[in-house]
Amino acid sequence: MIPQYVPGHSLLADRTVVVTAAAGAGIGAAVARKCLEEDARAVVLGDVHKRRLDEAVETLRAEFGASRVDAVLCDVTNEEDVTTLLDAAEPFGGVDVLVNNAGLGGTASILEMTDEQWSRVLDITLTGTMRCTRAVGRRLVAAGRAGVIVNNASVVGWRAQAGQAHYAAAKAGVMALTRCSAIDLAPHGIRVNAVSPSLAMHPFLAKVTTDEALAELTAREAFGRAAEPWEVANVIVFLASAYSSYLTGEVVSVSSQHP
């Protein structure tokens, strides 16, 4: 049974939020919507998919107002794209919250995995998160401003799963990056935390995962269902808000999964 959708409580009032990989119907898109519902001053979406990004912006602007939503094509493996994405937040007063949601998965046995497969997943999922964290951290420190960074990790960073060596290594790296960058940035009043979802269902996941695999993953969940993307987004909003003011360097599991 899916719980009732939780309405906004102005947790992000007067904050400008940047979300990577925010187009489509996954966690990033849910985060963008939740931040607007929580009265964020503005949300800037980044993604590599122009059509989906345009559709997301059109929908959110129609609902929340054109003055609160902007978007930039952004490939997190490209430093210039990252700079352009953060520049788009400047007309709204500059970034206050960064949600690093961009990541790339895939399934391949370690026996068959190519260097290209490994490097692609690591470059987007781990190095992309580092690249965005570094860029935002530098801006906030230069401006003398506090801020919040929330990274999207995964339970496979903790738990073994066949065919996921590259993705698991990348997500475990995101967890370690979260802890270490939190220590580096704490003296500047910048908090860094992460969520670690198990299974959040959305159309793209259904397209790239077999019914058998989804059934197996769902069976591991105590609630007998996958999380809704907005349920993960709720925890990300909590970490971005003042309610988590004493949390940094933490990885919060968003999971009902059992061994």
Residues identified as active-site: 167
- What are the backbone angles phi and psi of residue 192, rounded to the nearest 5°? -135, 120
CA 166 to CA 122: how far, in whole Å?
A: 7
Spatial contact of 155 and 197, defined as CB atoms under 8 Å apart: yes
The residue count of the chain comes to 259
Helix residue ranges, H only, the chain: 27-37, 50-64, 79-87, 115-122, 128-143, 165-185, 203-208, 211-219, 229-240
Count of CB atoms situated within 10 Å of the CB of 201: 18
Query: Beta partners for 70?
Result: 44
130: which residues sit within 8 A by CB, 6+ positions away? 177, 181
The string of DSSP letters for 143-180 reads: HT--EEEEEE--GGGTS--TT-HHHHHHHHHHHHHHHH
Q: How far apart are CA 177 and CA 180, in angstroms?
A: 5
Three-state SS at 192: strand
Using CA atoms, how far apart are residues 139 and 204, in angstroms rounded to an integer? 33
Encoded amino acid at 233, one letter: A
